[in-house]
Amino acid sequence: MTFELSIEFFPPQSPEGMEKLRATRARLAVLKPEFFSVTYGAGGSTREPTLATVMEIAAEGHHAAPHLSCIGSTREGIREMLAIFKERGIRRIVALRGDLPSGMADAGEFRYASELVAFIRAETGDSFHIEVAAYPEWHPQAKSPREDLLNFKRKVDAGANSAITQYFYNADAYEHFVDEARALGVGIPIVPGIMPIASFSKLARFSDACGAEIPRWMRRKLESFGDDAESIRAFGLDVATELCQRLIERGAPGLHFYSMNLAGLTLEICRRLGR
């Protein structure tokens, strides 16, 4: 099965974490991903680790895409980061609104990701391929599904080249979102985000925080396994593989894996998909 692939990491906070991520990256590199993306902490809190990780990825000969979030940031700070990326040969950015760090009252000079996308375009022209986020099950802070869809269109109109979705396990939600976006005139690729399942407790925590739904049948099945990690892993692999197969067969432009800095599950899903 042929499909484009990208993989997300988060920046390690320790030398040991960096070593583990290097080993993970070496294993995942056999998949020949289109790019590796690296997350950016709230308000730029992981700026230096993100930059260091991105530079390592680029030095290894891979395409790297740093996340860049605008909440809590200034125009001058974003301008400085863009200059660093451009100077170091980075050509892809994942532009996000991001979250305000706990305890920080100042949201900075940007309110929305669409403003960040417009700023990047005004400052750098077509120097960067800009990825933005999409939410098939709607952003948890959106006033309504319609408003969330219009917010997505604003990011596209501001100059986004493609989008990566929040993870989901309901393919119908993704297909419905894409159909609605196309009806609004959005033509950019909308790549589904895939979250392999390593732990039910972690998945439930992430999903509650980001608004991604775990369908009831999945939740009940995962709960029934209790602490049986092998059964959770086996079931999770089946669910994720079937989801990916359906998405690719129905025309998804690629898959973006949220690796959680681990290689095994992503490698196994891709092996099952014939990559």
8 catalytic, yes or no?
Answer: yes
Residues with Cβ within 8 Å of 149's Cβ and at least 6 positions away in sequence, in order, are 177, 180, 181, 184
Q: Which residues of 174-188 are buried (b: 16+ CB within 10 A; e: fewer)?
A: bbebbebbeeeebeb
- Shortest CA distance to 133 belongs to which of 84, 46, 81, 67? 67
Both tokens assigned to 254? 């690629």
d(C-alpha 168, C-alpha 177), whole Å:
12
| SS3 assignment for 162-225 | EEEEEECCCHHHHHHHHHHHHHCCCCCCEEEEECCCCCHHHHHHHHHHHCCCCCHHHHHHHHHC
Catalytic residue among 8, 115, 131, 137: 8
- Quick one: how far is CA 7 from the chain centroid? 8
Dihedral angle computed from the Cα positions of residues 95, 208, 204 and 212, in that order, rounded to the nearest 10 degrees: -50
Residues marked active site are found at 8
